Amino acid sequence: MPAIAPLVIAAAPRACWIEAPGRAAIRTEPVAAPGAGEVEVRTLHSAVSRGTETLVFRGQVPASEFERMRAPFQSGDFPAPVKYGYASVGIVEQGPEGWPGRLVFCLHPHQTRYVVPLDAVHPLPDGLPPGRAVLAANMETAVNALWDAAPRVGDRVTVVGGGVVGLLVAWLAAQMAGCEVELVDVRASRRAVAERLGFAFSLPQDARPEADLVLHASGQPEGLATALALAAFEARVIELSWYGQRLVSLPLGEAFHARRLVLKSSQVGHVAAAQRSRWPHRRRLALALSLLRDPVLDLLVTDVAPFDQLPEVLARLATGAPDTLCQRIDYD
């Protein structure tokens, strides 16, 4: 009698839910079989967006932003319970011909397996390992920030705030001809990262004044005040930070008017007007993924934890964790 192969039953998909402000848990997540034009993805890695996801975890999304803040494939509603996240990398296990086995990026919450429309997944380019591809959403934000900022050849560019987005913005700007880029951060430990990425570093009190262009990404009002202080006459200050429900007090009565400064917001949900008609989301993600092929960007993935520890990781990040840049989550 021939041997019968053992029946292997895949574990039920699981997802991380914020059950109440300040508390998350892993839940079993029913997933239907993929239909026509859909793919099933088994997750390899995801990443926690430090700024946005910690605000969501703490329940600090303003009621006025509940709809605008919804992530693709989000389940539930703010403030909670809600399944949130948008940096997932996995392998296609079922789908149309030519797709099974392909590595893909998807703007999906933290979940072990999921089914999405085919046009929601973005193939990883050759040379990009999946563990680094979790930075794609951050890179897209950085690209749009520079589109909004429109740096010119030879500009003195200052980036205030050395988180993942700030470091990516500085790294991109440093590759422009003649640009002198300086990262400003209160953490002296960012100096080594900046030097490895190829640009200068200063603490706020030592920062170079008279910048032609300043981009702020610290997430702190004090950082935006520093950005305004470092801007030269008629310079632009691009604000990348999002403060949720916090009110921000700024020194707009000092040299702000005399220097004729321009303070402009940048948010990846709306692409810079000069690019909007020609850069649909799929093209932007493809660009972001291609820019991540440089191995030096592995410096930004500083912390790794297994999926089962994600609730504890979110709680830790929400209370500070200043040395963490990108927090990656690894799946079995």
For the stretch 187-229, pLDDT in tens is: 999 999 999 999 999 999 999 999 999 999 999 999 999 999 9
Q: Are 298 and 324 members of one domain?
A: yes
Question: Mean per-residue pLDDT for 252-279?
Answer: 89
Please choose, from the candidates 189, 186, 196, the residue with its C-alpha nearest in 3D space to the C-alpha of residue 219. 186
% of the chain residues with pLDDT over 70 = 97
pLDDT at position 75 is: 97
* Residue 215 domain flag: yes
* Residue 74 domain flag: yes
| Reported confidence tier of residue 240, pLDDT bands at 50, 70, 90 | very high
Q: Are 191 and 306 members of one domain?
A: no
Is the pLDDT score of 9 beyond 60? Answer: no
Please choose, from the candidates 243, 216, 320, the residue with its C-alpha nearest in 3D space to the C-alpha of residue 55. 243
Give, in order, the Cα–Cα distances in Å from 203 to each of 81, 191, 324, 326: 40, 9, 18, 21
| Reported confidence tier of residue 10, pLDDT bands at 50, 70, 90 | low
Give, in order, the Cα–Cα distances in Å from 291 to each of 143, 159, 287: 10, 19, 6
| Reported confidence tier of residue 117, pLDDT bands at 50, 70, 90 | very high
Is the pLDDT score of 2 beyond 60? Answer: no
Round to whole Å and give the CA distance between 292 and 280.
Answer: 19
Question: Mean per-residue pLDDT for 87-91?
Answer: 98
| Reported confidence tier of residue 8, pLDDT bands at 50, 70, 90 | very low
* Residue 287 domain flag: no
- Phi/psi region, residue 327 (left: phi>0; alpha: psi -120 to 50; beta: rest), is beta
Residue whose structure tokens are 């200068």? 200
Find the CATH number of the domain harbouring 144.
Answer: 3.40.50.720
Round to whole Å and give the CA distance between 196 and 294.
Answer: 12
Number of domains in the chain: 2
Q: Is 260 exposed, middle or buried (0-12, 13-18, 19+ CB in 10 A)?
A: exposed
pLDDT in tens, 293-324: 999 999 999 999 999 999 999 999 999 898 99
pLDDT at position 296 is: 98
* Residue 305 domain flag: yes
pLDDT at position 60 is: 93
Kindly report the pTM of this predicted structure.
Answer: 0.94
Please choose, from the candidates 239, 283, 278, 231, the residue with its C-alpha nearest in 3D space to the C-alpha of residue 258. 231
Round to whole Å and give the CA distance between 133 and 161.
Answer: 22
Q: Are 42 and 128 members of one domain?
A: yes
Question: Mean per-residue pLDDT for 245-254?
Answer: 87
Question: Mean per-residue pLDDT for 139-152?
Answer: 96
pLDDT at position 289 is: 98
* Residue 115 domain flag: yes
CA geometry: angle 78, 166, 244, nearest 5 deg? 25
Question: Mean per-residue pLDDT for 162-185?
Answer: 98
* Residue 7 domain flag: no
* Full residue range of the structural domain in which residue 235 is found: 138-272
pLDDT at position 243 is: 85
Helix (H) or strand (E) holding 144: helix 136-149
Question: Mean per-residue pLDDT for 238-260?
Answer: 90
Is the pLDDT score of 6 beyond 80? Answer: no
pLDDT at position 273 is: 84
DSSP 157-225: EEEE--SHHHHHHHHHHHTSTT-EEEEE-S-TTHHHHHHHHTSEEE-GGG--S-EEEEEE-SSSHHHHH
- Tokens for 83, please give them: 């399944």
Q: Are 129 and 148 members of one domain?
A: no
Q: Are 21 and 90 members of one domain?
A: yes
Is the pLDDT score of 183 beyond 80? Answer: yes
The length of the chain in residues reads: 332
* Residue 106 domain flag: yes
* Residue 315 domain flag: yes
